Structure 1
Amino acid sequence: MGKSVLFTGFLLVFLGLALPGTQAKVFSRCDLVKTLRGHGFEGFVGKTVADWVCLVKHESSYNTKAVNNNGPSRDYGIFQINSKYWCEDGKTSGSKNACHISCSKFQDDNIEDDIQCAKKIAREANGLTPWYGWRDNCKGKNLSSYVNGC
């Protein structure tokens, strides 16, 4: 039994090392606050980190693996970036791929590329209006609870 447990442990560690970046991550609220602050989101396009955290909560529930099928296109990752305009998923006809990236890159635990594309979207829109989660749940509301205690 001891050898079996040791081998299983070794196998799990090996698989974890052999498949880097393939694991999803569900952020805690405060981890996301810290990450967004560290990437200059406070005041970016005139919005607060609380706006962005609220957006992410309502778009993906802080889950980097989230996918939402909208019929002819899909939304990917923690920011729910759309395949019709921003990334290429091989399924969406006529994708513009304005962020020049595969949508699958938005589904791993590394959100650096997600952040770059989300900022591009927000910059081009001059705000967060492209995200229904923000428009329907966050816009014009007191969002202090999204950053309190962090």
Structure 2
Amino acid sequence: MKAAGVLALMAGLITVTESKIYTRCKLAKIFSRASLDNYGGFNLGNWICMAYYESHYNTSAKTVLDDGSIDYGIFQINSFTWCRSEKLQEKNYCHVACSDLVTDDLTDSIICAKKIVKETQGMNYWQGWKKHCEGKDLSEWKKGCDVS
């Protein structure tokens, strides 16, 4: 009987932390509601384009870098500077656990991304944005998504 209860609890936890791959238009709506359009001078197309090239809209994306740090979530936010994992030397400027950046709830990721844009040099933090989105016409990224 105890084993069944434990299995039910574990199944519930797995469901809660399950990742999600968003569609472009669903992200456009979430980003719009989160006031990312024109945040830091970057229109919605920039945010959608950046998220695509950083994670392909996958909330569970993780990339281990050469320095041993890890980029987390839909915006690929780095563990050494912006979030907290197990290592003590991390700065955690966003005051968030890295594990909170790999869930289908994008609240913490968006708050941290806004902080990065505000406290660094805009979207230059993201290499995917610099390589694929910077200086380009990004109107297609929100086209057909019913966002203004």
TM-score (norm 1): 0.85
Q: Which amino acid aligns with 1:103?
A: C
1:45 and 1:126 in contact (8 A); partners too: no
Q: CA RMSD in A?
A: 1.8
Structure 1 regions of 5+ residues with no counterpart?
1-11
Are the structure 2 counterparts of residues 145 and 99 from structure 1 closer, same or farther at C-alpha, using a change threshold of 3 Å?
same
Distance 1:16 1:77 in 2: 22
Q: Does 1:111 align with 2:106?
A: yes
Distance 1:18 1:108 in 2: 12
2:54 alignment partner, one of 41, 52, 59? 59
Moved more, 95-104 or 27-36: 95-104
Q: Does 1:37 align with 2:37?
A: no
Distance 1:13 1:137 in 2: 44
Q: In the alignment, which residue of structure 2 is the partner of 1:142?
A: 137
Stretches of 4+ moved more than 2 A in 1?
12-21
Query: For each residue in 1:15-66, what CA deviation from the matched residue of structure 2 results, as whole angstroms up to 9, or x when unmatched?
Result: 6544453110100000000000001011100000100000000000000000
Q: In the alignment, which residue of structure 2 is the partner of 1:130?
A: 125
Q: In the alignment, which residue of structure 1 is the partner of 2:83?
A: 87
How far apart are residue 94 of structure 1 and its match? Answer: 1.9
Secondary structure, counterpart of 2:51 in structure 1:
helix
Query: Which one has a bigger Cα radius of gyration?
Result: 1
TM-score (norm 2): 0.86
1:85 and 1:95 in contact (8 A); partners too: yes
May I ask how many residue pairs the two structures share in their alignment? 138
2:41 alignment partner, one of 43, 46, 49? 46
Structure 2 regions of 5+ residues with no counterpart?
1-6
How far apart are residue 14 of structure 1 and its match? Answer: 7.2
Secondary structure, counterpart of 1:47 in structure 2:
coil
